[in-house]
Amino acid sequence: MDKMVICGGTPLHGTIEVSGSKNAVLPIMAAALLTDERCVITNVPDLRDVQTMIRIFRALDIKAVFDGGAVIIEPKSSKKFIAEYSLVKTMRASICVLGPLLAKQKKAQVSMPGGCVIGQRPVDLHIKGLRALGAEIEIKHGYISAQVKKLRGANVFLGGAYGSSVLATTNVLCAATLAEGRTLIENAACEPEVADLADFLIKMGAKIRGHGTPTIEVEGVRQLGGATHAVIPDRIETGTHMIAAALTDGDLLIRNARRDHLSALVDKLEQMGVGITARGENIRVKRRQRTLKPVDVTTLPYPGFPTDMQAQMMSLAAVSDGISVITEKIFPDRFMHVSEMNRMGADIFLEGASAIVRGVKKLSGAPVMASDLRASAALVLTALVAEGRTDISRIYHLDRGYDRIETKLIKVGAKIRREKE
């Protein structure tokens, strides 16, 4: 197992390039299951989750290859319809094959993803949405088993206790493209990754309106064709680099970035005293003042503050001049990074689903353990500003979601190396 060794205290300067979005590419790859024709997806990040999706395709007897930043999928009529536990357990997003498989094969069996360290991960909205389109679904032997004679369009309200669901929306959207008649998805997730999937489906021949808003309308078609599509830039990777610049008191030009996908983060960073200028697909980030102001943040569905940026934002709040309150409204248990940050000298305590962060003047390097993808990113950020050496173990989480992170950070001055544990 690898660990990351980081010597903190160097401001980051230079240009950093953002890769394609992990959360967009996974449902887009899954949507290729809806056609028998070739699909070419470009601007694909080199990530373990992309490889896992390719393995799921191979287990379905479908040829998929990752080659120089593109995934080429050559679907054909396959009789296989099972996504196995051994693959799904390593990547919860595997559930996004459920809707496409059901629509194309009329049958799908996908392992229940189970919980994970960030909390409960129910699938009731996925099931509710697909049932509304006529699917028969049961949970048996740890698998979601779905079948249908003919999918029919319907009105589906996809609201849960914590608001909309990104992957339930993508599943129902994909299934609705091949359903007979019109589907109206209300309380749909508005995340840019859902809109990017809809753009890909439209290129395949789907009839979709309203994507990127809470009401998506789909007019089912008889079949979909192949398509070529470039994935949007990863807004969470972009946000992570923005915080790296602010945290280390550096100056970064972030390329291949979409400022319009990050309004909630930009707003909070500006409140803290970070200067952000965007031109075209470039964002420049540099502190406007020496000390950062504290900030209150509540995570919400898009366009609210992303839960996937909560841990990284906490690392910045940890060195601000005052008290910040960070409240998690999507995954109320997503605070595994708090105790590790405290080991590095942060002053954070939890009060229900809120973290009270008292800014400190200095953090110090320590051995810490990564618990999930975004917590790992936050520990890397914290280590970049901490005095001395930090060893982050279980770094494999980072490889699930960040494409060549240390290579990119080293190029802008970070002192990072990977070692075997």
| Contacting residues toward ligand UD1, per CB under 6 A | 23, 26, 92-93, 120-126, 160-162, 165-168, 189, 193, 307-308, 330-331
Query: Per residue, what are the HEC states of 180-241?
Result: ECEEEEECCCCCHHHHHHHHHHHHHCCEEECCCCCEEEEECCCCECCCEEECCECHHHHHHH
Shortest CB 49 distance to ligand UD1, Å: 8
Can you name the residues that pair with 71 across neighbouring β-strands?
41, 66
Shortest CB 170 distance to ligand UD1, Å: 8
Catalytic member of 39, 96, 116, 190: 116
AA identity, residue 211 = H
Locate tokens 């230079």: which residue? 14
Locate tokens 């979005």: which residue? 21
* 8 A C-beta contact, residue 156 and residue 132: yes
Render 126-142 in DSSP notation, one character per residue.
HHHHHHHTT-EEEEETT
* 8 A C-beta contact, residue 382 and residue 318: yes
Asked if 190 is an active-site residue, the reply is: no
Which of 316, 336, 328, 298 minimizes the C-alpha distance to 385?
A: 316
* 8 A C-beta contact, residue 321 and residue 359: yes
Closest to ligand UD1 by CB, 30 or 218? 30
Shortest CB 338 distance to ligand UD1, Å: 17
Q: CA-to-CA distance for 163 and 187, rounded, in angstroms?
A: 8
Q: CA-to-CA distance for 74 and 54, rounded, in angstroms?
A: 12
Strand-strand pairing, 2-7 and 389-393: antiparallel
Shortest CB 404 distance to ligand UD1, Å: 19
Pair of tokens at residue 150: 């003919």
Shortest CB 161 distance to ligand UD1, Å: 6
Shortest CB 48 distance to ligand UD1, Å: 13
Q: CA-to-CA distance for 137 and 134, rounded, in angstroms?
A: 9
Active site residues: 116
